[in-house]
Structure 1
Amino acid sequence: MTSHCATTYFLILGPGAVRPFGRKMVYLWCLLQLGNVDTAAAFAPTFLIYCILRFCAGLSVMTIMINSSLSEWTMSQRKSVGIVLILSSYSIGQMFLGGLAFAIRKWYTLQLAVSVPLLVLLFPSRKLVESFWWLIVTNQLEKGVKELRRVAHINGKKNIEETLTIEYVKSTIQKELDAVQTKPSIFHLFHAPKVIMRICCLSFSRFPSAVSFYGLVLNLQHLGSNIFLFQVLFGAITLTASFLSLWTLNYMGRRTNQIFFSFLAGVSILVNTFLPQEMQTLRVVLATLGIGAVSAASTGSALHQIELLHTVFRSTLGGITTVFHRIGAMLAPLLMTLLGYSLRLPWIIYGVITLLAGLVILPLPETRNQPLVNTLQDVENNTKYSRKVKQEDTSTKVTQF
């Protein structure tokens, strides 16, 4: 329920991340909310109040995860590195949490240990750079140029004020400026069949991936009862899978990455389903392989989604795909109720739908080394994808600073 409501909360703030507040403001607000509510949970007098506070804390997590990745500031050739590093931080956090929980056994002390740093994180987060394309959409070109100069200084570019002028930026992104003169509406999406197709494919890909991933994680009873060790191992598996996915994303592309790892995960689950219980070691290896493969496919899916969805509605459309992901997460443990009919039926379902997750990626275009799409027209007319990869486009000219 918390996951579902967190997604609903994200859908409310998704449009707000574009208009009128901006992604940086939404990110800081949700980070403040998460830090305050999580800290208050350490002093909850009853278990009911603790659950309510933790429920409220969970509402802002998804919005923080999405808006913490401002991919517009990343060169096309480096997006995979940035996304993998962000996803790897989650795995490292899981491993750290396992060790921290082992060292701190009092729950309220542990709660404070993981929540107070969120409030401290607010101070450096104020230095984050706002999305350049959001500033363009909201007709704040002067502020957008100022943020571009900040990024240029961070990248070691000196005396950039003489080169990076408002006139230069205007001439570079004139097409995008003309496109945003008409304020975009969410209802415009109903007249964009290619955008709808991409949303459907991404949504039906993330749904089975979530089902198989959480099904494996929640039911890996053969790893033993040591929850601290399980947390560390789980983080180590997903961390390894993320870096493996980085290599395949750069050399195999976004589509091939997801298709390959989805099929690998599906086959691992199905083979594991029909292995006898006596082959315990092989079953553990296949289950671990399945978790790693699903995690690697999810890493590719996260990057592919950012590159497929246009900038103006990226947060909102990302919320739609996240709804399907959370529905899959809620369905995963419910499928285990089918054990009353057959001991293998839930695992067969996990395996089959994971194979299907790879198939629904086929209609999507490959986006490796391609610039981000910024408007509905770019998607519908295949503006960006019709260019050669080596051809320099406006977004590359801007982000080179």
Structure 2
Amino acid sequence: MTEENEDVKYDTVLENMGSCGKFQISRVLLIVFILFNVTISQYNFLFYSLIPNYRCSVPNCEDVPPSNYTEYQPKWLKYAVPYKNNLPQKCDMYEYIGGENLTEYIGEENSTECSIDSFNTTNIIRCNDYIFDGPKFIGIAREFGIYCEDKLWMLTLPASIQFVGQFLDPLSGYLSDRFGRKRVFLALSFSTGIICQLQAYFAYNYWVLIFFELLQSIIRTGVMPVAFTLSLELISAKHRSLGAFFVFMTGVSGEAILGIIAMYASNWRTMIHISSFPPLLILFYGWIIPESIRWLLAKNKIKKANNAISKIAKVNGVKWNLDNCVKFESKTDSKRCHERFVDLFKSARMVQRIAACMACWTIVLFVFYGLILGSVTIFGNVHFNFILVSLIEIPGNLAALVFANLIGRKKTLSISYLIAAIACFGFAFLKAFDCIYIYTAELFPTPFRQRILSICSAFGRVGAILATQMPFLANMWVSLPYIIFGGAAVIAGIVTLVFPETLNTKLPDTISESVNIENDKINI
């Protein structure tokens, strides 16, 4: 039997054993449950680095008579603090010169307030103490004393550090291709929880916090791609989009849960402790997850692959002839065992495909993170905004599932970009984000699939970093970010036309199969 026939035989075997049976459903749900636990703490930095509303504490004017609550905008404040856009300046106040204060009779007590004569409005000075408005949540600004414009960069640095750490995503891809999807997935997930807990316990200095933020971003960034690949390789071609949908829905749910935790947490340390605790429980149930059979075959671990196939058949209630497993033995001398990562770059078609994937990832993350980061700066309740922006991904994920199976990956991705370019519609970008994940995993061979996915994801972080600068451009011209978003989306929509269609194709196991992927359709 030829190698090509054997590969088709494996996909056929997967169908015969129940392409979406009890085994696959239970294991994919377990994978996404672990992913859910990890994603809860993914955007902690957005909340602990929020810029609080505050103003100068004005000596001789506050709490007269003394009370447990200091009003944020008392009547006399307009005499004591400069205003901008109807809001008191955060760090500046007028010089207090005393003078005659106003006295009012309230109930049975006299209340003394500062008056316009109490301040020299021609002399503005910096203050050292502050009065805070709104929720009592204590973030790093209040704990580490990060106030005023000259320290604003210290509150935006954690977001940038997150994306810098994600540039090392290819490392997780290499480890996954080298040592297996399961081991790396569980190790990264558990380590993320540990590092976040250490950050909450020991980050009593700003730079220690930044160190832990960088470390956990390096570890965490590989969790999603590895979970996605592991799930994809566990199920058959006709259920790939459905599996991807559950993976993406997990991320949405985790983000929304974080919004609720941040809403009720009293300080940033409590928020991190709660949000990062679930991954620590992986030790008790993570071992149930199976290794990818495709990876086992690609690494010539035939016996383990046969045992895994037998287990799937048993759980799914399918009779499986063990003699069939021997047919995989001929893969021992398959050329896939001798293919190297550098061999990908010997094919002009593969080089073109990798470059196109990098471009599409950069643009989709550019807009995606622009939407996420902007959710905590727009008008209204920051927690509610964040939850809404997270949940709006649900229709985007569902649309990606429906259209990717209905009209194909290529058309879905290209149309998503073009619609977004015309309307700057975030919903379309969410659909593109899901589709590019599926597309990238299906385009490249098993031995290098995780590495390429990680490289494209890491390269896409350039777009994420650029997204953090869009508010500055909006200050120049409010429409400028949307014009840039639209122009980038047009470019991405055109670039996607170079991709082959992968709907109903088998996952390629060799470079040759990947190059000719459109010829490997499966009858479904």
For normalisation by structure 2, the TM-score amounts to: 0.65
Shift of 1:339: 4.2
The separation in 2 between residues aligned to 1:13 and 1:97, in whole angstroms, is 25
Residue 13 in 1 paired to residue 168 in 2?
A: no
Please, which of 64, 75, 87 is the counterpart of residue 236 of structure 2?
75
Write the letter of the residue equivalent to 1:167.
V
**5 Å matches for 1:2-401?**
2-19=161-178, 21-44=179-202, 45-69=204-228, 70=230, 71-158=232-319, 160=320, 162-163=321-322, 165-170=324-329, 174=331, 178-182=334-338, 184-219=339-374, 223-269=378-424, 290-339=425-474, 341-380=476-515, 382=516, 384-390=517-523
1:103-139 per-residue CA deviation (whole Å, 9 max, x = no partner) reads 3233222211111110102332221111222222332
For the Cα contact (< 8 Å) 2:176–2:450, is it kept in 1?
yes
Write the letter of the residue equivalent to 2:446.
T
Write the letter of the residue equivalent to 2:436.
S
For the Cα contact (< 8 Å) 1:310–1:373, is it kept in 2?
yes
For normalisation by structure 1, the TM-score amounts to: 0.84
Write the letter of the residue equivalent to 2:185.
Y
Q: Which has the higher contact order (CA 8 A, sep 6+)?
A: 1
Q: Which has the larger radius of gyration?
A: 2
Count of residues paired in the alignment: 362
Write the letter of the residue equivalent to 1:25.
R
Q: SS at the partner of 1:146? A: helix
Shift of 1:48: 2.9
* Structure 1: gaps of 5 or more residues: 270-289, 392-401
Shift of 1:80: 0.2
1:191-244 per-residue CA deviation (whole Å, 9 max, x = no partner) reads 122211111111111111222222334345885231110121011101221012
1:141-195 per-residue CA deviation (whole Å, 9 max, x = no partner) reads 101111222222333335x3x3464313336xx4x8512242x222212212221
Shift of 1:87: 0.5
The separation in 2 between residues aligned to 1:107 and 1:340, in whole angstroms, is 29
For the Cα contact (< 8 Å) 2:310–2:322, is it kept in 1?
no
The separation in 2 between residues aligned to 1:94 and 1:217, in whole angstroms, is 10
Q: SS at the partner of 2:497? A: coil
For the Cα contact (< 8 Å) 2:169–2:457, is it kept in 1?
no
Shift of 1:3: 3.8
Q: Between Structure 1 and Structure 2, which shows a larger proportion of helix residues?
A: 1
Write the letter of the residue equivalent to 1:366.
E
* Structure 2: gaps of 5 or more residues: 1-159
Write the letter of the residue equivalent to 1:299.
D
Once the two structures are overlaid, the 10-residue window that deviates more, 97-106 or 55-64, is 97-106
For the Cα contact (< 8 Å) 2:162–2:213, is it kept in 1?
no
Once the two structures are overlaid, the 10-residue window that deviates more, 144-153 or 247-256, is 144-153
Q: SS at the partner of 2:447? A: coil
The separation in 1 between residues aligned to 2:488 and 2:323, in whole angstroms, is 50
Q: SS at the partner of 1:365? A: coil
